[in-house]
Structure 1
Amino acid sequence: MKKIITLIVIAICFSACKKDKETIENTQTVNKTPKNDTFDLVLSNYYETSLKQNPLNATSAGDSRFNDRLPNFLSDDYAKQIKAFYQKYKTKMNSFSDNELSPSQQLSKEILNWECDIILQGLSFNEDLMPINQMWTLQLTIGQLASGSSSQPFNTIEDYKNWLKRIDGYLLWMNSAEEKMKEGIDRGYVLPESLIVKVLPQLKALTTANMDEHLFYNPIKNFPERFPEKDKAKLAELYESKIKNEIAPAYKKLYDFMSTTYLKHGRTTSGVSDLPNGLEYYSHQIKKYTTTSMTADEIHQLGLKEVARILSEMEAVKKQVGFEGDIIAFFDFVRTNKELMPYDNPKSVIDNFNEIHNTMKPQIEKLFDLKPRTAFEVRRTEAFREASASAEYNPGALDGSRPGIFYTPIPDAKTYNVFADEALFLHEAIPGHHFQISLQQENKDLPDFRKTLWYSSYGEGWALYCESLGKELGLYTDPYQYFGMLSMEMHRAIRLVVDTGIHTKGWSREKAIKYSLENEAESEASIISEIERYMANPGQALSYKIGQLKILELRAKAEKELGDKFDIAQFHNQVLESGCIPLALLETKIDNWIASIN
């Protein structure tokens, strides 16, 4: 999920006796103070300018005005522009006193101040000197867009021309990426060797001049039927020329550099503590992704505690199914059990996820008042990134023109293990990311800039919390699926240990892999991919468990203090209706809700 991370909160208060579902709106903010129109105009201008500065965000949101643009995010001019932009809006926010703003506007002021601070702080850590990795960076985003199956539209002649113009910006970025990596070599900012080798096949696949094999030619293979033949022929000529003369050579140039000079200088260490100011950078990443002031050591110790707790629950499942070996042998048994690999084609995997959805639909009505209007689909991850991708959710367009999509990689259907599919669907799809993100986007009472905000601690915490709802939703009747849920939770608990271990305690990639293999049932290939993910984006993996534990804590508190007055659907309304908010503000909101009922 690649979104601007920001603090948001809406003060909400329900009457204790107001239970009629017909009265529930996507937001129930009560605000009696008139809004300051000048302040709202500043928020609107902020959002509009931010879309122009990062037009990929506009495209992702379904705003097509800037589909032909792609600034060079790595240029010095762009860095100066971004710094000036956030400094400007920080000054603007502080030019308004709180007493001239409505309560919700005061919160927006607080949000934007935090946004400016966290981004300005991040600019000092030279992330631009390591612009490419195997999991998160622009070459992968562009690959998705180029495939024609993501947010970049290919519905009109103009759409096809817009993409060619956008590619011009991408070609400039590719050249800058090489220059930045050369600077990174000189200044001590280089990827670990183990990550560089994972990038190389991604680049090499796009050096081909064979149009039948080139990802960027996919839109030409899938013209809308209504296009005139003359236009199809002209566009095909333009795309073939662009690929042969510019795109493929650019990929070859970047591949040649990364496979020789850059690989030669790749780090043998795994964590960012070996980079200049690495520990300070990691502290920044913790704050950014968890929205807490927790230290790396606090998180590491919490992770060890959670691993031990979940391991004891796994032992109970092992006993239930009658497995007599130790837990590590049981992990291996689950990983390799052919009965848990029942499919021989990708469609069967997709069909299974859709059946999971159908099974829980009746219970969804009981647990959730708020449900999104945005359509939803399950799709196989695109082939060009499938080998190194994890299952993920891509949000729908703000205007409803594109559904929310749950992507799942199926590199080999015959070895695809289903034991965690129910928990995976609850997390990535429904009621996890699809409910939370779609409801936020559909909320007409939120300012535009807040509809696409993303706090990993809240968003991923919510999704992990949703995994615990399986039994309430009619799932986990198979002990292996319940073990799958425990495995997913264990996976996130392990992240607290290995992410902090890699980046602050000198853990090697191999030590982190070994620790994971000893404590979870994921395949070795999957674990390797995950560990390398943490190496590529320090701190992001911490957000899941930190957020989940807070939501579980708040639910338990509400159940205890409200007793018979507790309504699970109302609790979920409280958590969902405001969109992503930081954990401290979520806690305040739930406390206020409990007090309003008591």
Structure 2
Amino acid sequence: MPDYRSVLLALMVALCPALPAVAEERDADARLRALYEEEYAWRQQILGKVRDDEGEWRDGDRLPAVDARSQAGHLAYWREALAKLDAIAVDELSHQERINAAVFRQIVTTLADEVGYRAYEAPLNSDSFFWTGLYPRLGGFEDAEAYRRYVRRLRDLPRFFDDNMANMRAGLERGYSVPRVTLAGRDQSIEAYLVAGEGNPFWTPMKALPATIPAAQRAQLEAEVREAIDEAVVPAYRKLLTFMREEYIPNARSTLAARDLPDGEDFYRAQIRAFTTLDLSPETIHQMGLAEVERILAEMRTVIDATGFDGDMEAFLEFLRTDPQFYAKTPRELLSYSAYVAKQVDGKLGETIGFLPRRRFTILPVPDAIAPFYTSGRGGLDSCLMNTYDLPSRPLFNLTALTLHECGPGHALQAAIAKEAPGEIPRFRRDNYFSGYGEGWGLYTEWLGTVMGVYETPYEDFGRLSYEMWRACRLVIDTGVHYFGWSRERALAYLRDHTALSEHEVTTEVDRYISWPGQALAYKLGEMLIRRKRAEAEEALGSGFDQRYFHDVILGLRSVPLPVLERELDAWIAGGGENPYQGLAP
């Protein structure tokens, strides 16, 4: 019997020659979707995730496989995925799938580069460590089974630590490690986990056991977690602390530059691509940074004049660092200041962003265990963390810019919009984060505060400029250290001389740049692109420019490589700057 569907398709193709191209496009889209959906599911499994009844990925009963043999398997998989991606013709993809292809390529290339350069042999830096962040920051889990999986993860923790320590020993043997000078005191972050039972941070989820779990089952879960903490967690952290103090830190490298690592120059360029999603040379970035420093310096001098201060830049910075009026006397005062700024911003959001999410964030202090060497603040989907450690190093005049960046319209709001904005994106993109895009938006919102009218005093405006100068200095310092061979002292002096950051902040920040090559470059490069595109849009659209729609285009894309963001904004400008959500249901 003939296949009538095939006959009908052949007749339609004969009558409409454009149909084969449509069929090919659909085939290319389908091949791409199959590729990224398969890779994402595979990646969740190697991370130890499991699917729930609704198809969402949740923490499973084990921690990720990080040993060298597993890493080799991961690299082989990602290289094969890139080869398959290369075989799909980009010009045969639909518009949305072209975006997905660019995002997927950036993600997998970065993952493959990390393993290819064996970056897993140094799973820490001066700011972040593989032994923190293994339990929820807020709340607990949804049901008893989730808690049982948690117990099994705690039991798996010694294996996870042993594999990481084995990798770190391999790194030491080949001269690949975090610079020793940036690790001073970081071992103290382990000490909080040496406490038995309910005093251990891993007890945190037990404080939020759902009331729907029967009392007897609750008691059993509490007993199992308490035993896992005492029998697995505490011994693993004690072993790790001994390793860090007696073996790793004393033998970590004394050099600073990424170029001094094995395959160092290529590794550094790969890190630049990973964090900025741009193909820029260290020399170009260094010069861009120097130019930005000079531009911002001129603006800073204008603001100093507006304060009426009688003295030069050096004297003004000393005034800001030492006058008590600029510093909170209690942690609550600092947190309240940030909360006030956040509520000011809330009142301006309707005229700033078109689509606003339902989700809200809270403001919390940075946990005591990591506060001494943590950044001034950090924002995410559920909360903004403000550092209340060493209050004399936390000037209030910086806090407006910091709150804009970390809370709203910065990272916390950005993350909520990514979850709720109209338009579906593939699962593999939902939790992805490109620093150039995300941190570029965060720094842009600090400037956006001037448009919103949030800065109330010249001192707050100087704090904004000091923060922008801080990010411009990063372009100079990161490339200066990792490519041009700057000393730590030179990097410290450069940041100290150009910003109003406290000495504590100057030290923790420079150590972060030294131990985390390339990461510091993302902020300014992303912000410069967004501000450049806004200026182009304002000029091209004139009175038709609506910043709400401009911001909706950026945030509605979610996290994308900067070249993709630029192309999409160019297309929006060419199309007349219309509301990207026009006609869509709220």
- In the superposition, the TM-score normalised over structure 2's length comes to 0.87
1:245 paired residue among 218, 231, 248:
231
Q: 2:65 maps to which residue?
A: 72
Deviation of the 1:202 alpha carbon: 1.2
**Deviation larger for 251-260 or 82-91:** 82-91
Q: Which residue of 2 aligns with 1:157?
A: 144
- The match for 2:36 among 43, 52, 59 is 43
Q: Extract unaligned runs of 5+ from structure 2.
A: 1-24, 578-586
Report 1:490-529 matches (<5 A): 490-529=469-508
Aligned 1:432-511 pairs, distance under 5 A: 432-443=410-421, 444-511=423-490
Match of 1:574 among 533, 553, 557: 553
**Which of 326, 329, 340 in structure 1 is aligned with 2:326?**
340
User: CA shift at 1:251, angstroms?
Assistant: 1.5
Match runs of 1:253-268 below 5 Å: 253-268=239-254
| Residue aligning to 1:215 | 201
Within the candidate set 552, 557, 573, 2:536 is matched to: 557
Contact 1:90 1:112 in 2 (8 A): no
Retained in 1: the 8 A contact 2:68–2:167? no
Q: What amino acid sits opposite 2:386 in the alignment? A: T
C-alpha contact 1:132 1:177 (8 A) present in aligned 2? no
After superposition, residues 146-225 of structure 1 pair within 5 angstroms as 148-150=136-138, 153-209=140-196, 211=197, 213-221=199-207, 223-224=209-210
Residue 21 of structure 2: aligned partner: none
Q: State the AA in 2 paired with 1:424.
A: L
**CA separation of 1:40 and 1:472: change in aligned 2, threshold 3 A:** same
Note if 1:289 corresponds to 2:275: yes
Q: Counterpart amino acid of 2:200? A: H
- Tell me how many residue pairs correspond in the alignment: 551
Corresponding residue of 2:387: 409
Q: Distance in 1 between matches of 2:566 and 2:220?
A: 58
In structure 2, the residue matched to 1:378 is 363
* Code of the aligned partner of 2:76: A
Partner of 1:419: 397
- Structure 2 SS opposite 1:406: strand
Letter in 1 for 2:400: E
Q: Deviations over 1:106-150 (max 9, x none)?
A: 3323432343333223322121222233322321222xx1xx434
CA–CA distance in 2 between the matches of 1:132 and 1:62? Answer: 32
Whether 1:315 aligns to 2:288 is no
Q: CA-to-partner distance for each residue in 1:200-245, whole Å, 9 max, x for gaps?
A: 1112332344x45422233345545565554444333333332233
- Relative distance call for 1:190 and 1:113 in structure 2 (3 A) is closer
Cα distance between partner residues in 1 of 2:127 and 2:183 = 11
Letter in 2 for 1:573: D
Backbone CA RMSD of aligned residues: 2.7
The AA in structure 1 aligned to 2:419 is: Q
Query: Where does residue 11 of structure 1 map in the other structure?
Result: none
1:533 match: 512
Deviations 1:328-373 (Å, cap 9, x if unpaired)?
A: 22112212221112442x3333232222122233322112112223
Q: Does 1:86 align with 2:78?
A: yes
Displacement of 1:585 in angstroms is 2.6
- State the shift of 1:316 in Å: 1.9
- Contact 2:540-2:573 at 8 Å conserved across structures: yes
* Alpha carbons 1:391, 1:428 under 8 Å: kept: no
Q: Please say if 1:369 is aligned against 2:354.
A: yes
CA distance in 1, matches of 2:253, 2:234: 28
Change (3 A) 1:240 1:532: same
**Distance of 1:355 and 1:164 partners within structure 2:** 40
* Change beyond 3 A, Cα 1:221–1:128: same
1:54 to 47, 58, 65: 47
Q: Report the Cα distance in structure 1 between the residues aligned to 2:207 and 2:554, rounded to whole angstroms.
A: 44
Counterparts in 2 of 1:202 and 1:105: CA distance versus 1, 3 Å = same
Which protein has greater RCO, CA pairs closer than 8 Å, 6+ apart?
1
Q: Name which one, 1 or 2, has greater alpha-carbon Rg.
A: 2
Q: For structure 1, which segment, 475-484 or 587-596, has the greater mean C-alpha deviation from structure 2 after superposition?
A: 587-596
Q: State the identity as a percent.
A: 30
Deviation per CA, 1:396-450: give whole Å up to 9, x if none.
Answer: 3xxxxxxx31111212457642111111111111111233332223244211212
Does the 8 A contact of 1:426 with 1:463 survive in 2?
yes
CA distance 1:283–1:64, shift in 2 (3 Å): closer
Residue type matched to 2:74 in 1? I
Note if 1:271 corresponds to 2:257. yes
